[in-house]
Structure 1
Amino acid sequence: MSPLPATLPAIVRTRVRAAVRRPARLTPEEAETRTLVLRLCSLLLQYPDAELAAARPVLTATVEALPPSPAAEHLAAFTAWFTGQEPDALERQYVEMFDLRRKSSLYLTYYLHGDTRRRGMALLTLAQRYRATGWNTDGGELPDHLPVVLEYAALAGPRAGEAPLRQHRRGLELIHRALTDADSPYRHVLAALLTLLPPPTEADLRAVAELAAQGPPNEDVGLDPYGAGEFAPPGTFVPPEQAPPTLIPPLTPPEGPR
């Protein structure tokens, strides 16, 4: 989005920016498809355990039945790879991409707050947001884990539900960039998600470049300064223990293309 003229009254500039970032009004069919795409992204970004691996035919059929869109194309590219891999290869790829690399960690508040006290408050705020809408995550994962955030977005709708995704737009952009640089098929899932969000502003892109070069804020005592490549020296980051997948009602096979 081009910068707005400085001569415009502040309230006008604010409302124009809000209108650009506000999700467009959707038809019931579009809203249903959007919800399904969010749920598919949530499932495909979870650890590929035996249950998820066994569900690959259903996931693939569901993606194939989506109406044509850039998001559907990205998800189809991912499921084509996903269905052709051995389960142990899927597990290795997932751990390598999301547990061993800070630049593609799925914990969104890390990119905004790093290892600082503010991250704890951000996690608490997210948990309170979920409880306020009556959603219980069962404590299986941190509230900022991307599959959890995606499931909340699918349940709560484009405005309130997708607000955490919009808030962490820059972190999502960095994850996508890191996965693309690593030539990981998971880049297609992030690309599908990004098609649902407002395009990044020039300020967003500058912030992502700075984040990629310098890393998030840091308050930990005893850690060396972040390097330009991996945010921290090798061995500094100990990934959290893998939690069980988010509890999501199973998808039912589609009857055919819509």
Structure 2
Amino acid sequence: MKTFKVLSALLSYPAQGLIDAAPDFLAILDAEKVVPSACRGALDLLIEEIAVGELYDLQERYGLLFDRSKTLALHLFEHVHGESRDRGQAMVDLKAMYEKADLFIAANELPDYVPLFLEFLSTRPLAESRELLGQTAHIFAALAERLERRQSKYKAVFDALVAVAAAAPSREIVDELLKGIDPDPMDLEALDAAWEEEEVRFGPGSQGQGACGHESLIAKLRHARRAVDRAPRPQ
């Protein structure tokens, strides 16, 4: 599915190659029809903005959002494990899933980097990709809400991912993920406080709610296991 390659590219750091390729994205989305039409208007606006954008301006906007704001970090397990040691095991599990599908990470990037995850989905059958998106839709829905607060067009990418997912995100889990301070990217003191490393604890009880199995990505959600079990399943 080239659609997931398009969404991956849109969430990558802007380079001239992205600007040059952006006009082709609309044709890919039109041809594959994976993204629902209800999401296309906002997504098309983002693509068109990138296609005619000035590289420095695009890079500055991207950096203020995703590089400077911890609450918008483009790493899946940042939002559910923070700096706990559970995150390391989750990385190992995700990397193993990639390698089982003969996808080996060549770039200097962590396995849970969202554009990399979407690249992986582009190599899988659509039904499998939708299932995996359903397991991560809670994170994407929370990111979409944070981007909406900033009136960012990047929200459209996460809305599209949630719409394509096989399962709708639980409101209870999304609310849990949205807890905490979401600092203004221009407030340097608040950003420093948000990026301050959490203490990594070891010993009995150190993993708390993060201690869970490896059967799926959703099992990594530190605060949400009971909510997942209670959430109604789509028919």
**TM-score normalized by the length of structure 1:** 0.66
Partner residue, 1:104: 72
Matched, 1:235 2:192: yes
Cα pair 1:42 1:151 within 8 Å, conserved: yes
Cα pair 2:19 2:52 within 8 Å, conserved: no
Partner residue, 1:37: 3
Alignment of 1:184-203 (within 5 A): 184-198=152-166, 200-201=168-169
1:131 pairs with 91, 99, 107, which one?
A: 99
* AA aligned opposite 1:125: D
Question: Partners of 1:208 and 1:96 in 2: how far apart?
Answer: 23
Change (3 A) 1:114 1:107: same
Question: Partners of 1:91 and 1:81 in 2: how far apart?
Answer: 13
Cα pair 2:5 2:118 within 8 Å, conserved: yes
Matched, 1:117 2:70: no
Runs of 4+ with deviation above 6 angstroms: none
Question: Partners of 2:173 and 2:41 in 1: how far apart?
Answer: 28
Partner residue, 1:90: 58
Cα pair 2:23 2:47 within 8 Å, conserved: no
**SS, match of residue 121 in structure 1:** helix
Displacement after TM superposition at 1:138 (Å) = 0.7
**SS, match of residue 168 in structure 1:** helix
Partner residue, 1:50: 16
* AA aligned opposite 1:213: K
Change (3 A) 1:233 1:92: same
Question: Partners of 1:112 and 1:213 in 2: how far apart?
Answer: 12
Partner residue, 2:114: 146
Report how many residues are paired: 189
Alignment of 1:151-190 (within 5 A): 151-190=119-158
Q: Which has the larger radius of gyration?
A: 1
Percent identical pairs in the alignment equals 24
* AA aligned opposite 2:20: A
Partner residue, 1:24: none
RMSD: 2.4
Question: Partners of 1:113 and 1:166 in 2: how far apart?
Answer: 19
Change (3 A) 1:111 1:206: same
Cα pair 2:162 2:168 within 8 Å, conserved: no
Question: Partners of 2:107 and 2:24 in 1: how far apart?
Answer: 27
Change (3 A) 1:148 1:36: same
Segment drifting more, 162-171 vs 147-156? 162-171
Segment drifting more, 84-93 vs 72-81? 72-81
**TM-score normalized by the length of structure 2:** 0.72
Give CA-to-partner distance per residue, 1:4-61, whole Å, 9 cap, x none. Answer: xxxxxxxxxxxxxxxxxxxxxxxxxxxxxxx232221011111111221222222344
Give CA-to-partner distance per residue, 1:97-139, whole Å, 9 cap, x none. Answer: 1111122111001112111100010011000000111111214
Partner residue, 1:246: none
- As a proportion of its length, which structure holds more helix? 2
Matched, 1:79 2:32: no
Question: Partners of 2:183 and 2:44 in 1: how far apart?
Answer: 30
Displacement after TM superposition at 1:145 (Å) = 0.6
Cα pair 1:143 1:149 within 8 Å, conserved: yes
Structure 1 segments unaligned to the other structure (5+ residues):
1-34, 215-227, 239-258
Structure 2 segments unaligned to the other structure (5+ residues):
197-235
